Amino acid sequence: MNRRVVITGTGLYSCLGVGLDAVRESLYKGKSGIVFDKVRKEMGFRSALTGYVPEPDLTKALHRRQRVGLSEEAKYAYVATVEAMQQAALDIDYFDKNIAGILYGNDSSAKAVIESIDVVREKKDTTLLGSGSIFQSMNCTVTMNLSTIFKLKGINFTISAACASGSHSIGLGYLLIKMGLQDMVVCGGAQEINPESMTSFDGLSAFSIRESDPTKASRPFDKDRDGLIPSGGAATLIIESLESAQKRGAKILGEIIGYGFSSNGEHISNPNVEGQVRSLDMAIKQAGIQTKDVDYINAHATSTPIGDKFEAQALYQFFGDHTPVSSTKSMTGHECWMAGASEIIYSLLMMHNDFIAPNINFENPDEDSAKLDIVATTREAKIDCFLSNSFGFGGTNSTLIIKKFAP
């Protein structure tokens, strides 16, 4: 079976704004969501920079039993999923009466784990942790909770693939629908934003220390980049077979036409060009298009010296110099487990509003980025097809290609 797979709902809980309209506005204006968090400095962080989202208050939306198991990132995912369901014209009753699955990217629930261990160390009694601790602490906190709340009855598990988690969740959902094994899957990625979750990452000296100017600190592809900025929130996409969408009369936001993946099989934290090119090549071949058909590339580029260098080399090797490229992480920071999903939604917003969001803070190229068409300021452009890269620790690579829907 080889079914067409379309996107019919998107939802965001992002440092660029509340709701899709606000995020579209931020993307167009090149607005940064990065702040200085003094708590991190007090904790001994090398860098106090972070993207910021407030923790949502769900007391009116959910009853106690539904809330107690929600980790911070699961709360973000809940809000993003409600928005995606609204856009897709879906409700819990639909999920209760049909078979829809959930595949969501998440690779930590550090705060919940730390808090539970703090209680046990203080009280020396595990029965005083409360019932929510286990459901908050497991990596599958998002899929466990959302599948229960929304009465999802299809496939149900979490994808843990570092900073490519969100992208792989969409790719795997796409494959299941394409093969005829599912009609609809709730996909996405969630990322906790608390300091505790980022201590070890900060300890690798991976973060930018341009603390005097937070909104200028994330500068993918720029010659003077000095590291990434952690960020978070959640992004949800409802994807389904074309038949399912048409039967429901749903508005189609885009069609997923290619999913490439690869593993570098080399260094645990350093990327390589060959692995990325294999992922790009698989996606392009699967989509049945040529590189010239891609109108925009949403790069993974996180603003680290080595990561952006390798991606620029891979993109130049594969696409040459003619395809516009930007990294929305210049505005959002690195949304890690969420990024691969949120960046598909950011790119969809560009596709539907005829612009390419800027790679802000790209002031001077280095020898590799100079060979690419990096979009430094907002560009009016028709996008019929875009490609999004996501790479993660351990050398996991994911590439998605989305096309404007044409019956």
Partner 1 sequence: MTKQEVADIINGFLVDEFEVDAASITPDAPLKETLDLDSLDYVDLVVVIENNFGVKLTGDDFKSINTFDEFYNFIIDKVSKK
Q: Which sequence positions are flagged as catalytic?
A: 163, 300, 334
Residue 130 touching partner 1 (CB under 8 A): yes
- 25/369 Cα distance (integer angstroms): 27
In the three-class reduction of DSSP (H, G, I as helix; E, B as strand; rest coil), residue 319 is classed as helix
- Alpha-helical runs (H) found in 88-140: 92-97, 110-123, 132-137
Q: Which residues pair with 17 in a beta bridge?
A: 14
Q: Are strands 100-105 and 184-191 parallel, antiparallel or unpaired?
A: parallel
Q: Does 131 bind partner 1 (CB under 8 A)?
A: yes
Rank residues 128 and 181 by Cβ distance to partner 1 and give the closer one.
Answer: 128
Near partner 1 by CB under 8 A, which window of 58-66, 99-107, 183-191, 358-366? Answer: 58-66
Among positions 38, 63, 292, 382, the unique one binding partner 1 when judged by CB under 8 A = 63
Rank residues 68 and 242 by Cβ distance to partner 1 and give the closer one: 68
What are 184's two structure tokens?
A: 């609809």
The answer to whether residue 128 forms part of the interface with partner 1 (CB under 8 A) is yes
| Binding of partner 1 by 290 (CB under 8 A) | no
Instruction: Report in angstroms how near the CB of residue 147 gets to partner 1 at its nearest.
Output: 17
The distance of closest approach from Cβ of residue 112 to partner 1 in the complex, given in angstroms and rounded to an integer, is 15
**Of positions 129, 175, 252, 381, contacts partner 1 by CB under 8 A:** 129
Task: Locate 186 and state its tokens.
Answer: 């709730």
* By CB under 8 A, residue 64 contacts partner 1: yes
User: Distance (Å, rounded) from C-alpha 343 to C-alpha 231?
Assistant: 13
Q: How far apart are alpha carbons 279 and 115 in whole angstroms? A: 38
Using CB under 8 A as the binding rule, whether residue 285 contacts partner 1 is answered as: no
SS3 (DSSP) at 59: coil
Contacting partner 1 within 38-57 (CB under 8 A): none
The DSSP symbol for 46 reads S
| Minimum distance from residue 246 beta carbon to partner 1 (Å) | 41
Residues 254-283 that bind partner 1 (CB under 8 A): none
| Residue-wise DSSP of 147-193 | HHHTT--S-EEEE-BTBTHHHHHHHHHHHHHHTTS-SEEEEEEEE--
Residue type, 281: D
Residue 288 in contact with partner 1, rule: CB under 8 A: no
- Identify which range of 125-133, 233-241, 345-353, 389-397 contacts partner 1 by CB under 8 A: 125-133
Using CB under 8 A as the binding rule, whether residue 380 contacts partner 1 is answered as no
Going by C-beta distance under 8 Å and a sequence separation of 6 or more, which residues neighbour residue 347?
296, 298, 328, 383, 386, 388, 402
Residue 258 near residue 283, CB atoms below 8 Å: yes
Residue 60 or 268: which CB sits closer to partner 1? Answer: 60
**For the window 104-123, what string marks contact with partner 1 as x by the rule CB under 8 A?**
-------------------x
Q: Which of 145, 295, 291, 305 is nearest to 225 (CA)?
A: 305
Report how far residue 267's alpha carbon sits from residue 79's, in angstroms, rounded to the nearest whole number: 36
Kindly state the smallest distance separating residue 69's Cβ from partner 1, in Å: 9
Taking CB under 8 A as the rule, does residue 35 contact partner 1? no
**Applying CB under 8 A, does 68 fall inside the site for partner 1?**
yes
127 binds partner 1 (CB under 8 A): yes
- Residue whose tokens read 């960046």: 343
The correct pick among 132, 171, 230, 395 for binding partner 1 (CB under 8 A) is 132
- In this chain, which of 57, 93, 122, 125 binds partner 1, going by CB under 8 A? 125
Q: Name the residue nearer to partner 1 (CB basis): 123 or 251.
A: 123
Tokens linked to 331: 């505005």
Residues that bind partner 1 (CB under 8 A): 63-65, 68, 123, 125, 127-132
